[in-house]
């Protein structure tokens, strides 16, 4: 089952040409991803308690249709890939206009950072299993880790 969040857009999301700012798309994707994590037991409070957080290496956005001033949007978040121990992840965000037309897609690639050490880390085993139950893209990637 898909994970979808619907948002009313804000006046501040738009530029003087009444186009949604390109960074607003990414902000809605990030908020939706945070809500997905929360729905699967990894709330911001839980991340803080674990002293771990997500960090992005790459964010790739494709724009298809214009979102109008004041239009509601829906963001579908799908897990696109993980490494074997979920050290790395890819998510696909599909942003839909209020009429259901796909407006943009955002793919992110990231990992986990230890907030104390400021180094990449892994999720504790106790929460790693959430990735096996998240909604996935039709084609799922196994992300290979580079050997040190």
How many domains is the chain built from?
A: 1
Stated as kind and residue range, the H or E segment containing 73 is: strand 72-82
Q: Is 74:96 a contact under the CB 8 Å cutoff?
A: yes
- Residue 86 within a domain: yes
Could you list the residue range(s) of the whole structural domain that residue 48 is in?
A: 3-137
- Residue 54 within a domain: yes
Return the bridge partners of 91, or none.
79, 108
pLDDT at residue 148 above 70?
Answer: no
**pLDDT tens-digit series, residues 32-46:** 999 999 999 999 999
d(CA 8, CA 11): 10
Q: List the CATH number of the domain containing 11.
A: 3.10.129.10
**pLDDT tens-digit series, residues 53-63:** 999 999 999 99
- pLDDT of the residue at 146: 80
Give the residue-averaged pLDDT of 17-25. Answer: 93
Q: Where are the alpha helices (DSSP H) in 40-120?
A: 44-50
Q: What percentage of the chain reaches a pLDDT higher than 90?
A: 84
pLDDT at residue 126 above 90?
Answer: no
d(CA 22, CA 14): 9
- Residue 146 within a domain: no
- Residue 64 within a domain: yes
pLDDT at residue 98 above 70?
Answer: yes
- Residue 31 within a domain: yes
Averaged pLDDT of the chain: 94
């Amino acid at each position: 089952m898909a994970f979808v969040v619907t948002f009313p857009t804000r006046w501040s999301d738009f530029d003087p040409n009444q186009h949604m700012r390109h960074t607003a798309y990414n902000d809605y994707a990030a908020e939706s991803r945070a809500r997905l994590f929360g729905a699967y037991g990894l709330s911001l409070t839980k991340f803080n308690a674990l002293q771990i957080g997500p960090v992005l290496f790459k964010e790739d956005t494709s724009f298809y249709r214009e979102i109008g001033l004041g239009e509601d949007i829906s963001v579908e978040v799908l897990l696109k890939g993980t490494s074997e121990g979920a050290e790395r992840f890819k998510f696909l965000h599909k942003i839909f206009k209020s009429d259901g037309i796909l407006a943009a897609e955002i793919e992110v690639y990231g990992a986990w950072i230890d907030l104390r050490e400021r180094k990449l880390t892994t999720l504790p085993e106790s929460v790693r299993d959430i990735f096996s139950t998240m909604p996935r893209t039709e084609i799922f990637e196994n992300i290979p880790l580079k050997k040190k």
